[in-house]
Amino acid sequence: DIQLTQSPSSLSASVGDRVTITCRASQNIGTYLNWYHQKPGKAPKLLIYAASALQSGVPSRFSGSGSVTDFTLTISSLQPEDFATYYCQQSHTAPLTFGGGTKVEIK
């Protein structure tokens, strides 16, 4: 199975901060990497697909980059509604797998 390792596991940031989360895959997954965020008690929501493509309706402050094994999600200016847990997910090979999550908290 493809393992995804996210870092950090949690971070504290202020509104307006630039935030970066990384995801490392255990093998080459090309650009088959997607990002979601999840608020407490809610279902996850797709933000970025194919490593860097913005899902329809998602604000442009979210961006993704990377390929092969190393990927990054960046929030250019953190907004109050962005405090959530972020997950990466690989869509390269079944079983589909997720990273362990990064909790973004208010500083």
8 A C-beta contact, residue 19 and residue 104: yes
Residues β-bridged to residue 53: 49
Site for another protein in 20-59 (CB under 8 A): 30-32, 34, 36, 43-46, 49-50, 52-53, 55
8 A C-beta contact, residue 96 and residue 89: yes
CB of 43 to another protein, least distance (A): 4
CA–CA separation, 57 vs 13, rounded Å?
24
CB of 92 to another protein, least distance (A): 8
Q: Which residues bind another protein (CB under 8 A)?
A: 30-32, 34, 36, 43-46, 49-50, 52-53, 55, 87, 89, 91-92, 94-101
